Amino acid sequence: MGTLKVDTVVGSDGTSPVTLTKQEAAKVWINLDAVSSNAIRDSLNVSSVTDLGAGEQRWSFVNNMNNAYFTSSYSVLNMGGSSRCGINGAGLALITTGQDQMYSFITGDSGSAGQDNYRVASAAHGDLA
């Protein structure tokens, strides 16, 4: 067995990224602060974030997904001291090929209420258009 050591792997043209074969990588991901400013801390393929109200954010993609049936995962970190935080990704009717959104909430004895969180993160998997 030999050892392959490289710093950069590119396509056969010398500049393009290599094509993943039988592998999937996130096509969109985002980490944002929904408490103070909805500022995007870091992202891939995200152009902007829209604040839709307490606990609800929508982000737009730079490059659209192939269809609206992509899969997203969400996570939140609430620095406000509540330990009862829940997440509800947007219903399929609200997801488009160019956007994703989520709703996070605090659960309690009297129901649930939207809650902005210190760290909101999401990743989407599927094919780009």
- SS3 at position 75: strand
Residue 1 lies in a domain: no
Residue 74 lies in a domain: yes
- Provide the pLDDT for residue 21: 75
Residue 19 lies in a domain: no
Residues 6+ apart with CB under 8 A from 6: none
Q: Which residue has the higher pLDDT, 109 or 96?
A: 96
Residue 75 lies in a domain: yes
Q: What domain range includes position 44?
A: 28-125
Residue 13 lies in a domain: no
Q: What confidence tens digit (pLDDT) does each residue in 39-98 have?
A: 999 999 999 999 998 888 999 999 999 998 899 988 888 766 555 566 655 444 467 899
First to last CA, the chain: 39
Q: Please tell me the total count of domains within the chain.
A: 1
